Chains A and B, each alone.
Chain A
């Protein structure tokens, strides 16, 4: 028997039929688990919120840098002739802020919470973790200022000077150590699939990062092998750091929100190990046609196509888990963001696999098509999943619900429409650019202007020849400009979404805004939500 007083407003043992399906009884043991979770969340509060708050601030900074870079591409004299805002510095600053500021910190914050929840232990050694977060912030701040000041290395994804990379490495080592210590004291025998991915991320990323720093920056190997190592790293930042954190989050949040188990443990295993095997062999697909031995490019092309295996496996696993509960998407912000992200994961991976094959790579390498791919991956998949994670986790840490469902709605639609429109825009622009650089005989815009859209397009394709350098470069540039304008528009849409999100986070963390007692859902009929997520 228990001496716990009944929770306010509820009788111990009676189900909360606002949210649980009929017949589900809240037993004393469920109350135990809830108390356990409460203690875990209480211990996670300051460390995770520190990471989340920092990440949100970096997101806003990174979005401003992105807008500046995007506008400069079609209007080069915008803020022109200012050295610290020149495109060659603003663009890498944007990349590093969104990758190491936003994406890394929101992922690590989520990793902390997921590890604690899945190991069923409270967060120990918070000082270690907060120190890691402080060091990380210092490194990203110093690194971004350095890049804008012209001290960047011009090696994509590792532009920060040496002093920053040391700080990042120490910070990450602290997190890795914490993860091992936490895992060592776990109270849960079964290692859930999310934890495999989180461990993989924590173990693989320092290895890649240390390798590239040693072999390309500190004691560089001679010549083009640097680029092989560089892009092995560059691809692995996405493949073995962000993707596993994103997948771990999806694997946790979807079954958690809808109350169903993951469809197949066996598919989870197949998905994990095939990703481990193939993903990190794919790096040389960034250098197809380049000054490297053919075998290297072939190996990466094969690995990239083999990635269909883990991606299809994961997609089936997620889809079969969720499809009976699609109705819940009308209600749950978390689910909406996470499911959107999961679908974009499938899309971006299919696109990526196809782009690695030489026949598709020839026209699309070096074009805006690559940028479309990068954004739909890191934003459409990873960032949207992390938005979902923050919408779920923050109320559990602060004890306060989100202040406004309408703002969440604004955020979701601005972000999802913005990123998908950016993807479509840059894909079309990149395809035109690529064909004009490699196959076309006359510029697309000129033909469409002369003959109308349909006939112009037909004539464009009719003029194709293999290995054709007929279209002058400046015409190629000219034809991409309308698409770059539209892209800036989609960027503004994303910025609006981020302002809404930042405002919501601020309201929640600072305790302002309307106080709610129930979850902030898109629709306010809890019975419908119960039915949608019921068994």
Chain B
């Protein structure tokens, strides 16, 4: 860093206006009165001290680097583009499982329910007050298997009373998206979960309901389903 009064500077003992002179142009007189008070009172420009780096800091950083290296080695999924979940434990279990075993309809029904129904009817089948009807303890679920088969196939729109509470919303149809055995599985699950204890629904029953209502392309209303 050049010292303010550096003896190696050839101009160091010349007047200030000469030192500030632009190399090429005429000398500019610097009027010190024009120097503003804030600049006059400033301290020196910032400079560096030279304290050494503490050893404990180096140790901590070394430990961090070691951890980083271990983490990289363990959780990088072999640097593959098709490994998304870093936990090798989970992967080992997935790869070790054999051919698929026949699935209990309740288990299958629960998976389908989770994937299709929980966003409105809730994980606990309680729905949402005033918005989506509950399935737990619902008379529609427990006592009217024919109605719920039709609702799953073609949807339900408009006012409906469930467990004494009024709802007025639109449930989409699942008849296209889900096959008969899937609808049977999810209905079986719903009739058996959260304290519900009604009998299963078979794929044949769903197929029959589908045939009966073939050609229908609008959702049911509650009145239609409860009708004579």
Contact = CB atoms under 8 A, between A and B. Distances in A.
The answer to whether A and B come from one shared complex is yes
Interface of A: 1-8, 10, 16, 18-20, 27-39, 41, 117-118, 187-190, 192-194, 251-252, 254-268, 270, 291-295, 297-299, 301-302, 305-306, 308-309, 312-313, 316, 320-321, 358, 395-396, 399, 401, 469-470, 472-474, 517-519, 533
Contacts of B72: 298-299, 302
Given A268-B48, A298-B75, A472-B128, A35 B86 contact: no
B48 A294 contact: no
Contact of A31 (B32, B53, B67): B32
A34 B44 CA distance: 9
Nearest to A295: B76
A302 B52 contact: no
Nearest to A290: B84
Contacts of B49: 260-265, 321
Nearest 4 CB-CB pairs, A to B?
A: A294-B77, A29-B4, A255-B46, A264-B51
B166 interface: no
Main DSSP-derived SS at the B contact region: loop
Contacts of B65: 306
19 contacts: A7-B33, A30-B4, A33-B4, A36-B20, A38-B30, A38-B34, A187-B2, A188-B2, A251-B46, A252-B46, A264-B52, A264-B53, A266-B50, A270-B53, A295-B79, A298-B86, A299-B76, A306-B65, A316-B57
Contacts of A517: 37
Contacts of B33: 5, 7-8
A309 to B, nearest CB: 5
Nearest to B123: A470
B64 A305 contact: yes
B57 to A, nearest CB: 7
Interface string B44-68: 1111111111100100110011011
Given A294-B84, A295-B76, A312-B60, 20 more contacts: A1-B15, A3-B15, A7-B35, A7-B40, A33-B4, A34-B39, A35-B30, A38-B30, A192-B45, A192-B48, A193-B48, A257-B43, A266-B53, A298-B75, A299-B76, A313-B57, A316-B54, A320-B51, A469-B123, A533-B43
Contacts of A33: 4, 44-45
B1 interface: yes
Contacts of A265: 48-50
A267 B46 contact: no
A252 B119 CA distance: 55
A262 B32 contact: no
A257 B19 CA distance: 27
A7 B76 contact: no
Highest count of chain A CB atoms <10 Å: which of B49, B52, B79: B49
Nearest to A320: B51
B48 A262 contact: yes
B85 A16 contact: no
A267 B51 contact: yes
A293 B82 contact: yes
Contacts of A470: 122-124
Contact of B51 (A257, A263, A301): A263
A189 B2 contact: yes
A396 B36 contact: yes
Contacts of A270: 53
Contacts of B122: 470, 472
B68 to A, nearest CB: 4
A483 B19 CA distance: 62
Contact of B52 (A7, A35, A254, A266): A266
Contacts of A298: 71-72, 75-77, 86
Contacts of B15: 1-4
Contacts of A401: 38
A213 B130 CA distance: 47
Nearest to A321: B49
Interface string B95-139: 000000000000000000000001100111000100100000000
A256 B20 contact: no
A34 B42 contact: yes
A265 B48 CA distance: 6
Contacts of A8: 33
Contacts of A261: 46-49
B80 interface: yes
B208 interface: no
B225 interface: no
Contacts of B38: 395-396, 399, 401, 519
A16 B41 contact: yes
Nearest to A398: B36
A29 B19 CA distance: 11
A32 B53 contact: no
Contacts of B84: 291-294
Nearest to B82: A293
Contact of B5 (A29, A190, A256, A264): A29
Contact of A259 (B19, B43, B54, B85): B43
